[in-house]
Amino acid sequence: MTKYSADDVEKIFEKSGAILRGHFLLTAGLHSPIYWEKFRVLQFPAYTEQLCRMVASHFAGQGVQVVAGPTTGGIILAFETARQLGVRGIFAEKTGSGQRAFRRGFSISPGERVLIVDDILTTGSSIREVMAAVAEQGGTVVGIGVLVDRSEQKIEFGVPLFSCHRSKTPAYQPPDCPLCAAGVPLVRPGSPAEPPA
């Protein structure tokens, strides 16, 4: 079985055309010159399997009983990582209040050991929302696995964090954004205005 390195992960993203350069509005409301478009990678089952294998291998033997992720990319990652660990894979959706909850009959038993997976880590807000949903049902988060940690500063979650690739990527509050100051058009990824790779 091939063991993949952080360099291999970056190559996967590059080959998929998933590292976009420009002026992007991130989900967290920040602006950045680089956007990691994970769905360009997740469209390839072989790449998804390889990346999830890195996460599953890291947490193998730690008694994971269920893998949970946030919608939308986390659905795919939770399923594939859970498949490789031989456990259940579930996802948490946004509610009307802006929090996340397990719906569609998904539940976590009190004390059940949960691995949380997500695609791109920038501020950690999606992960914290899933952690809150797990805690609400009495589950125990044993770790977090992400494809790319692009946070500028290390984020503490109180549990072990594993990233397939670490890439400190600048992100700015809108009033401090040098790209805005330079007049570079702002793109919301996923919109029709998204530039080609």
Average pLDDT over residues 64-89: 96
Q: What is the pLDDT of residue 197?
A: 39
Q: What is the pLDDT of residue 168?
A: 84
Q: What is the pLDDT of residue 185?
A: 95
- Cα distances (angstroms) measured from residue 21 to each of 16, 24, 98: 14, 8, 29
- 1: pLDDT strictly greater than 90: no
Q: What is the pLDDT of residue 3?
A: 66
Average pLDDT over residues 97-119: 94
- 15: pLDDT strictly greater than 60: yes
Whether domain 46-169 has CATH 2.40.100.10 = no
Average pLDDT over residues 115-129: 94
Radius of gyration of the chain (CA): 17
Q: What is the pLDDT of residue 195?
A: 45
Closest Cα to residue 4, out of 163, 167, 118?
163
- 122: pLDDT strictly greater than 50: yes
Tokens describing residue 147: 């494809």
Residue 5 DSSP label: -
Q: Which residue has the higher pLDDT, 26 or 143?
A: 143
Q: Are the CB atoms for 82 and 57 separated by under 8 Å?
A: no
Average pLDDT over residues 57-61: 95
Q: What SS3 string covers 25-79? A: ECCCCCEEEEEECCHHHHCCHHHHHHHHHHHHHHHCCCCCCEEEEECCHHHHHHH
- 91: pLDDT strictly greater than 60: yes
- Residues 136 and 98: their CA atoms lie apart, in Å, by 15
- 39: pLDDT strictly greater than 90: yes
- 169: pLDDT strictly greater than 90: no
Q: pLDDT class for 2, splitting at 50, 70, 90?
A: low
Domains of the chain, by residue range, sit at 46-169
Query: How far from chain centre, in Å, is Cα 197?
Result: 21
Let me know how many helices (H) and strands (E) the chain has, helices first. 6, 8
- 162: pLDDT strictly greater than 50: yes
- 196: pLDDT strictly greater than 50: no
- 191: pLDDT strictly greater than 70: no
- 106: pLDDT strictly greater than 70: yes
Q: Are the CB atoms for 107 and 91 separated by under 8 Å?
A: no
- Mapped onto helix, strand or coil, the DSSP state of residue 146 is strand
